[in-house]
Structure 1
Amino acid sequence: MRAARVAAVGAVTLSLVLSAAACGGGTNGGGSNERPKTLTYWASNQGASIEVDKKVLQPELDKFEKQTGIKVKLEVVPWADLLNRILTATTSGQGPDVLNIGNTWSASLQASGALLDWDDAAFQKIGGKDRYVDSALGSTGAPGKPPAAVPLYSMAYALYYHKKLFQEAGIAKPPTTWAEVTAAGKKLKAKGRNGIGVEGSNLSNNIHQVFVLGKQHGADFFTPDGRADFTSEGAVKAVKQYVDLMAADKIVAPGNAEYAQNQSLSDFTKGRTGMVLWQTAAATFKAQGMADDAYGVVPAPVQSGAPGTGKNVNSMVAGINMAVFKNTRNTEGALKFVKFMGSDEEQRILNKAYGSIPPVKTAQEDPAFNGPATAPLRQTLATSAAALPQVPEESQFETVVGTAVKELFAEAAAGRPVTGASVRAKLDKAQQQMPKK
């Protein structure tokens, strides 16, 4: 899911047992035995604004109606509202037929029992599971269970660097390791720029960064049987390394501790910051008036060597999935709509519009997904990205550990020391807030 667009997942406890009462929003004007001729669709806000999303999506929905006779009633829901809206729908009976979900929510929402299971038979109705990239399928639900959703847009983190600021600072090539990031950041600071941007108040982005650093230090934050494991040596090292970009390396401006979604991107496009670690940022940069040739894109950094599996994972598998409520009154129509949105043609159209990567293999063959801004993302998803823990408590993980990182950034911004002991104490407090197993 997009890190910048999920600012407030944490107020909700997804491990509650939710009732999935009468969620289908499709309606018709005929008798109760007729299939509804209208599907309701909650789309996540992927573009620079809700209006942009409507302009992107509505022509495609009109195309679907022309092909099938099924009208799709669109509502674009802001990320800050989406999860709460979904949970309310599972209990109120007032919800959509089809909806977008952040892929990190898949296992949590699956545990609610509200979503249609995508077993082999359901996948066959939309062309088969083998059409999808493995990394995208890895973020569709708990291991060993049928997926709760279907991949729609795939994203990955990359390091974006400001070409003019790099040239002014005498940085010859973009960094590929964390040591090189720090060295480049210090050269940028010497020229009066910020080295790299973070968003200390963006809980989801905090999680995405420390999850990847955790992988690089051999930590997963959860044990194989799904128990929280936030205080391992690797987890402590990961969080400390991230916060130390401000606390010790001094390449992050103290004000970044208060930054929420997209504020670090604004600093980058305005030339105040030389680097930003972000997922699929090209469309946002364009919307903010930054020319495509003003920045470069390279794979996100690792500790040493080249990105890959194991300790050289350099991104979480980010993205958006499509799900269907079990109680839709038009399952057949909902499946047709998911198949339509996952067709090669629509995958090319929609992912081009949003600067994301199609999770459908054949759609990735379009040259548009092998350009300077997209090739590193595609490569990362294929070779060096890992899915966030697919456990029902994932949203609580984002909340409690994301908040711990936020508090540590606040300590660093205030000039107070951030030590291994202080990091461990914050993570221990976070672990105590998790459900006991």
Structure 2
Amino acid sequence: MKRKNYWFLFAILLLSLTSLSQGQNMTPDNSSSEERKTMSWNPQPSSPQDSDDQPIRVITHLNESDYKELLDINDNFIRETGIQVEIKNIPDTDAYRQLTAALEVGEGPDVMLVNSPWIRSLASSGYILPAESYQSSTTGSDVISPILQMLEWNGYQWGIPLDMDPYVLVWQAHALQTIGIPEIPQAGKEWKDLLVKQENRKDKKLIALPAGDAYAFAALMGVMGTDPGNPTNEGLESLSKLRPGIQFIETGKMQEAWTSLKDEGLVMIAMSASSAAKERKGNGMLELRLPEQLYADNPFLLRGRSYAVSAQVQHPQNAADWIAYMTSDKSQRLWSDTTGYLPVLKEMYQEDQFQWLQQPVHLDRLLKPTDGGTEASALQSKWDVFSKAAKLLLTGKSTEQEYREALEGRPKEKTSNE
């Protein structure tokens, strides 16, 4: 009888040990957090059979013409490598929400081409991989420094830049000379001299700005030497004097303003670099100036696009090869020549390298290393406030003091008559 009890107890003990062993297999990974981070940064490629059968999945956020050009370059990649690529474009204004919603439920792409300012947010949310995990060289020594600032977070670079499309001032050189200004004015006294000359032009406008476009407002202030987020009293005074000489371009009226510039009715127009490249063809009297200091201090105003690899990537090596091809010197030349967007590689701006571009944009400050941090600039953090305040100031609906108070976050005091 005792022997039977021993066998019964032995069976219960064996079942208990088996159950305990199964329970341990269900616990979280006991490896260190650093080991787990390394594993997530270096995803294992799919099996050869899967890599051969399944294409790279790419999501882009482009307008129709840019998307068509990207497809053409992608076709070259497919022909040369045999690697298949499926590209889906989301041109909608809520593209960021659509993309993050797909990533949230594990249905994201292998690669995404998005606005560069999105990169930091995607990285902090854990949606993308550090660039060093799929690119052998991401130090960025050959990329314009402010562009890289937008792509850095937590000590790492999280995207591979493709282009930039900052606002520029397009000047009518002959019209400027006609009013007595021999060269495009720099900030300070030269701008004051231009404003004095403008007073004698009576009803003629000096500059055209796209109506309600905060990027154009910021570019104008930058060219005048005024910090949009923290202007001096002298800078605001100059803006006030300029107000009567501003023509606001309504939607669909850009061509009329452009014709006025070519006919010397206007002296300058603020527009994106890509638009200027398309409009400027064949007119040597039009010169471009880019407010470099403004963009060095506020990289987000450069409005570039960058590639990033999803943390859900299925074919990391193919994805890395595709990005390397799309950002190669050859592809960048095709992209810039067709779209008008400016390249981000410093070597493209060397005198013997830059001649192939359609517009002679001369960079100096932006090509130098930057000492700035990677945090968002003060202007970026209050961009919506600036957009509204600048519009009111430039249209004469607010004073310089009200503009400053708005940027400082001080509410307008109501009078007894309000």
Q: TM-score, normalised by structure 2?
A: 0.68
State the AA in 2 paired with 1:172. P
Q: Select the residue among 190, 197, 205 that pairs with 1:194.
A: 205
Does the Cα contact within 8 Å between 2:186 and 2:224 map onto a contact in 1?
Answer: no
Bigger CA radius of gyration: 2
Does the Cα contact within 8 Å between 2:161 and 2:304 map onto a contact in 1?
Answer: yes
State the AA in 2 paired with 1:175. P
For residue 269 of structure 2, what is the aligned residue in structure 1? Answer: 276
Question: 1:419 & 1:170 partners in 2: Cα distance?
Answer: 29
2:136 counterpart of 1:151: no
Question: 1:93 & 1:416 partners in 2: Cα distance?
Answer: 49
Q: Select the residue among 40, 55, 59 that pairs with 2:57.
A: 40
For residue 419 of structure 1, what is the aligned residue in structure 2? Answer: 400
Q: Select the residue among 307, 332, 338 that pairs with 1:322.
A: 307
Does the Cα contact within 8 Å between 1:160 and 1:275 map onto a contact in 2?
Answer: yes
For residue 112 of structure 1, what is the aligned residue in structure 2? Answer: 125
Does the Cα contact within 8 Å between 2:170 and 2:276 map onto a contact in 1?
Answer: no
Q: Select the residue among 295, 304, 312 that pairs with 2:286.
A: 295
- In structure 2, stretches of 5+ residues that fail to align are 1-45, 412-418
For residue 331 of structure 2, what is the aligned residue in structure 1? Answer: 346
Q: Select the residue among 163, 183, 206 that pairs with 1:173.
A: 183
Question: 1:193 & 1:34 partners in 2: Cα distance?
Answer: 64
Aligned-pair distance for 1:97?
A: 2.6
Does the Cα contact within 8 Å between 1:176 and 1:301 map onto a contact in 2?
Answer: no
Aligned-pair distance for 1:322?
A: 1.2
Question: 1:204 and 1:169, CA in 2 relative to 1: closer, same or farther beyond 3 A?
Answer: closer
For residue 13 of structure 1, what is the aligned residue in structure 2? Answer: none
For residue 139 of structure 1, what is the aligned residue in structure 2? Answer: 150
Which is further off, 330-339 or 86-95? 86-95
Does the Cα contact within 8 Å between 1:203 and 1:398 map onto a contact in 2?
Answer: no
2:230 counterpart of 1:250: no
Q: Select the residue among 360, 363, 367 that pairs with 2:345.
A: 360
State the AA in 1 paired with 2:388. K
Aligned-pair distance for 1:340?
A: 0.7
CA RMSD of aligned residues (A): 4.4
For residue 63 of structure 1, what is the aligned residue in structure 2? Answer: 76
Aligned-pair distance for 1:64?
A: 0.7
For residue 184 of structure 1, what is the aligned residue in structure 2? Answer: 194
Q: TM-score, normalised by structure 1?
A: 0.66
State the structure with bigger RCO (CA 8 A, min sep 6), 1 or 2: 1
Does the Cα contact within 8 Å between 2:393 and 2:399 map onto a contact in 1?
Answer: yes
Question: 2:292 & 2:255 partners in 1: Cα distance?
Answer: 18
Residues 12-23 of structure 1: pairs in structure 2 closer than 5 A: none
User: Percent identity among equivalent residues?
Assistant: 16
State the AA in 2 paired with 1:419. E
Question: 2:161 & 2:49 partners in 1: Cα distance?
Answer: 32
Does the Cα contact within 8 Å between 2:186 and 2:223 map onto a contact in 1?
Answer: no
Does the Cα contact within 8 Å between 2:198 and 2:245 map onto a contact in 1?
Answer: no
Does the Cα contact within 8 Å between 2:176 and 2:182 map onto a contact in 1?
Answer: yes
Question: 1:408 & 1:265 partners in 2: Cα distance?
Answer: 24
Question: 1:36 and 1:131, CA in 2 relative to 1: closer, same or farther beyond 3 A?
Answer: farther
Aligned-pair distance for 1:338?
A: 0.8
State the AA in 1 paired with 2:86. K
Question: 1:346 & 1:235 partners in 2: Cα distance?
Answer: 37
Name the SS of the counterpart of 1:174 in structure 2: coil
For residue 224 of structure 1, what is the aligned residue in structure 2? Answer: none
Superposed CA deviations along residues 3-29 of structure 1, whole A, max 9, x for unmatched, are xxxxxxxxxxxxxxxxxxxxxxxxx9x
For residue 276 of structure 2, what is the aligned residue in structure 1? Answer: 285
